[in-house]
């Protein structure tokens, strides 16, 4: 809430880029949820980018630590057909448009960070807001999002820290949020043809529209504020870990699985690729810089690679 008071123009100065919506429009609509969300995602982008830049004394940009890192903000206004509107929501719901058209606003912040060192996990988060106006003027709205971790090797301490940080943010809003959204995350990031999850999960939710807009916004804001405390301590802890070529290879095999999930199952990617005129580079930003597919790769029993696979094959409770 500390960020929500004060001059919008002043607040914008800390952002990485100009807001998509003109500052004057944001000021006119300052109490509207779409304005508050747009400012919140800009804050999240700026805070996360700044934290990454500070890693290892400011080497983010020269790519010493991260092989590929993207922190994207997207704000889109437009009109949807009734058919498209139905597909936007994971629980399809029929919406009535004026002359079949439904004006909508969609916005979100998303990020995928692929580090070079196989002992530093990949992280992904996405927080988004959607609103759509029906013919009678009523507004449908919902939030979605989540943060999840994809390590190459299991580190129990990291896993507990990551999940505990998310649980604390969830618990401030509802005791059911963490257990429910943890399970949703394990189910969503599942590579069915491999029988493996993509990583060790985190939280994931969609279509969240209760108890009320204010409370859901506050919950999403709490989640967005955890991305730095969830991830940066893990990065810093493993920054100087040495690794072998074999560990790097296993990382590359896991990166291949990451590509498989994102291209075959991810709803956002599938929707984006199927939408004519969408920005392919943004949609595929989540892919790693490099990946590897070895025929019949199966780690030897008892190794740390086999331990990782075991966890991916049957998701654990980490806290």
Which residues participate in catalysis according to the annotation?
124
Spatial CA neighbour of 263 closest among 277, 253, 275, 273: 273
Concatenated DSSP letters for 66-94?
A: EEEEEEEEEEEEEEEEHHHHHHHSSS---
Question: Residue 193 Cβ, how far from a copy of itself at the closest point, in Å?
Answer: 4
Q: Which of 24, 294, 306, 313 binds a copy of itself (CB under 8 A)?
A: 294
Spatial CA neighbour of 127 closest among 73, 76, 86: 73
Q: Which of 137, 244, 295, 301 binds a copy of itself (CB under 8 A)?
A: 295
Q: With the CA atoms of 319, 155, 231 and 174 taken in that order, what torsion angle do they form, in degrees rounded to the nearest 10?
A: -10
**1 near a copy of itself (CB under 8 A):** no
User: Pairing state of beta strands 122-133 and 101-115?
Assistant: antiparallel
**192 near a copy of itself (CB under 8 A):** yes
Residue number with CB closer to a copy of itself (94 or 274): 274
Residue number with CB closer to a copy of itself (9 or 282): 282
Spatial contact of 44 and 15, defined as CB atoms under 8 Å apart: no
Question: Residue 126 Cβ, how far from a copy of itself at the closest point, in Å?
Answer: 17
End-to-end CA distance of the chain: give it in Å, rounded: 28
Q: Which of 25, 160, 289, 306 binds a copy of itself (CB under 8 A)?
A: 289
Q: Which of 252, 268, 271, 310 binds a copy of itself (CB under 8 A)?
A: 252
Cα Rg, the chain, nearest whole Å: 20
Rounded to whole angstroms, how far apart are CA atoms 120 and 122? 7
Rounded to whole angstroms, how far apart are CA atoms 48 and 15? 11
By CB under 8 A, which span of 30-38, 129-137, 141-149, 274-282 interacts with a copy of itself?
274-282
- Residue list 59-88, contact with a copy of itself (CB under 8 A): 68, 70
Sequence-distant (6+) residues with CB within 8 A of 117 are 65, 238, 239, 241, 243
**194 near a copy of itself (CB under 8 A):** yes
Spatial contact of 142 and 208, defined as CB atoms under 8 Å apart: yes
**263 near a copy of itself (CB under 8 A):** yes
**277 near a copy of itself (CB under 8 A):** no
Site string for a copy of itself, 18-37 (x = CB under 8 A): --------------------
**281 near a copy of itself (CB under 8 A):** yes
Sites of contact with a copy of itself (CB under 8 A): 68, 70, 192-194, 252, 256, 259-260, 263-264, 272-273, 278, 280-281, 283-285, 287-296
């Amino acid at each position: 809430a500390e960020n929500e008071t004060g001059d919008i123009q002043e607040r914008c100065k800390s952002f990485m880029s100009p807001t998509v919506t003109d500052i004057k429009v944001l000021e006119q609509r300052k109490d509207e949820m779409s304005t508050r969300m747009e400012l919140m995602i800009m804050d999240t982008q700026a805070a996360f980018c700044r934290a990454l830049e500070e890693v290892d004394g400011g080497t983010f940009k020269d790519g010493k630590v991260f092989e590929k890192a993207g922190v994207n903000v997207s704000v889109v206004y437009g009109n949807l057909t009734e058919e498209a509107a139905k597909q936007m929501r994971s629980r399809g719901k029929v919406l009535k448009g004026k002359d079949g058209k439904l004006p909508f606003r969609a916005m979100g912040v998303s990020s995928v960070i692929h580090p070079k060192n196989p002992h530093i996990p990949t992280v992904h988060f996405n927080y988004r807001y959607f609103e759509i106006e029906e013919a009678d003027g009523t507004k449908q709205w919902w939030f979605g999002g989540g943060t999840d971790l994809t390590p190459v090797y299991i580190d129990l301490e990291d896993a507990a820290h990551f999940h505990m940080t998310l649980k604390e943010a969830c618990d401030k809003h509802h005791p059911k949020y963490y257990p429910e959204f943890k399970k949703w995350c394990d189910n969503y990031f599942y590579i069915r043809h491999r029988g493996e999850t993509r990583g060790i999960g985190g939280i994931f939710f969609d279509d969240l529209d209760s108890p009320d807009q204010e409370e859901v916004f506050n919950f999403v804001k709490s989640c967005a504020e955890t991305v730095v405390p969830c991830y940066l301590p893990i990065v810093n802890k493993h920054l100087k870990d040495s690794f072998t070529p074999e560990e790097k290879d296993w990382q590359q095999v896991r990166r291949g699985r990451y590509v498989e999930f994102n291209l075959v199952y991810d709803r956002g990617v599938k929707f984006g690729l199927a939408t004519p005129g969408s920005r392919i580079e943004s949609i595929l930003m989540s892919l790693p810089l490099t990946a590897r597919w070895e025929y019949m790769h199966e780690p030897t029993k008892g190794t740390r690679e086999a331990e990782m696979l075991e966890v991916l094959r049957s998701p654990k409770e980490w806290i």
